[in-house]
Amino acid sequence: MSGSAPIVGVFDSGVGGLSVWRALREALPHAHLSYLADNAWAPYGERPAEALRERLGALVRGWRDREPLNLLVLACNTATAVGIDALRAEHPDLPIVGIEPALRPALAATRSGRVGVLATRATLGSARYQALRAACLANAADGAAVHERAADGLADAIERGDEAAAEALCRSHLRALLDGAPGIDTLVLGCTHYPLVLGSWRAACEGHPLTLIDPAEAVARRALSLLAGAAAAVGAASRGDPAWRCTGGPEALTRATRQWLGLSSAEVFALQS
Ligand code: DGL
């Protein structure tokens, strides 16, 4: 890694990982960020876990053949939930940072003791999420409760850049969650697509003040601590432009880098499959 910037792979099923990319760009000014969106397969959230695990295995193998990654950030709750253990077992030499619904900070922040979680169906149904939930509740105050809802369709609407559909889905999913558990005062956005439409969440929350929790900055801090040695060894000037790749058409990611990151000239390359 001497003489050049460390390469940090940032992965999501689609554009959702941009909400983590923003935090990584701040936290890792010395790193070269290389983004991969598996948009040919998005949305991940309603696909079977085993198929996703195999897909992730093949993608990361191909990625490492093309690029000498120093760190991989799974900027996707669903990929983390179903695939991080298998990826770590296959790549013991590659530090891998995942993202998962931020239950611990939410349970620390809630005053009512009721936390809501919106995430994909695959994340909520995973053994990893269930174990996290049990561990967090075991350490939480007596009577604390976590209420989940699978926000079907929302990641897909955000992926398509359909802001009106996304806002309608934020409203309907939030309404359904609050109808089932009216005391919720803290809401975990457990899919990286969801913080991209923060304005829609704020509009949907109107009249019901909620603390919104997004773990992107915690993920970036973890990435920084793993890269600290490498980043200190290189100069900021050597990191180069970020790279953007996708497995499907480049339009969605091109539009999203403009819409959510304000980048006017990101060049997105479609991988040949
Ligand atoms: N952004 C992803 C997540 O954090 C996946 C959304 C999807 O593809 O369904 O879960």
Smallest CA separation from ligand 1 atom 2, residue: 76
CA angle 27, 28, 34 (to 5 degrees): 125
255-268: pLDDT as tens digits: 999 999 999 888 99
**pLDDT recorded at residue 234:** 47
48-98: pLDDT as tens digits: 999 999 999 999 999 999 999 999 999 999 999 999 999 999 999 999 999
What is the residue whose two structure tokens read 């109808």? 179
**pLDDT recorded at residue 273:** 59
Q: Using pLDDT thresholds of 50, 70 and 90, give the confidence band for residue 1.
A: very low
Q: Where in the chain is the domain with CATH 3.40.50.1860?
A: 7-99+217-270, 103-214
Distance between CA atoms of residues 48 and 73, nearest Å: 22
Q: Any catalytic annotation for residue 191? A: yes
Q: Flag whether pLDDT at 3 surpasses 80.
A: no
Q: What percent of the chain is modeled with pLDDT above 90?
A: 87
Report how far ligand 1's centroid is from the alpha carbon of 171 (Å). Answer: 19
pTM over 0.75: yes
93-148: pLDDT as tens digits: 999 999 999 999 999 999 999 999 999 999 999 999 999 999 999 999 999 999 99
Which mutation among 156, 193, 196, 247 tests ligand 1's pocket best, with the greatest number of atoms within 8 A of CB?
193
15-44: pLDDT as tens digits: 999 999 999 999 999 899 999 999 999 999
**pLDDT recorded at residue 248:** 96
3-state secondary structure of 49: helix
Name the strand (E) or helix (H) holding 145. Answer: strand 145-150
In CATH terms, the fold of domain 103-214 is Rossmann fold (3.40.50)
Average pLDDT, the chain: 93
Ligand 1 atom closest to residue 99's alpha carbon, by position in its atom list: 4
Pocket of ligand 1 (CB under 6 A): 12-14, 16, 42-45, 76-78, 120, 123, 155, 191-193
Q: Any catalytic annotation for residue 205? A: no
Q: Flag whether pLDDT at 2 surpasses 50.
A: no
3-state secondary structure of 56: helix
Among residues 76, 136, 170, 246, the one annotated as catalytic is 76
- 32-37/243-246 β-pairing: parallel
Architecture field, domain 7-99+217-270: 3-Layer(aba) Sandwich (3.40)
Distance between CA atoms of residues 49 and 86, nearest Å: 12
Report how far ligand 1's centroid is from the alpha carbon of 28 (Å). Answer: 23
**pLDDT recorded at residue 228:** 78
Q: What percent of the chain is modeled with pLDDT above 70?
A: 95
Ligand 1 atom closest to residue 76's alpha carbon, by position in its atom list: 4
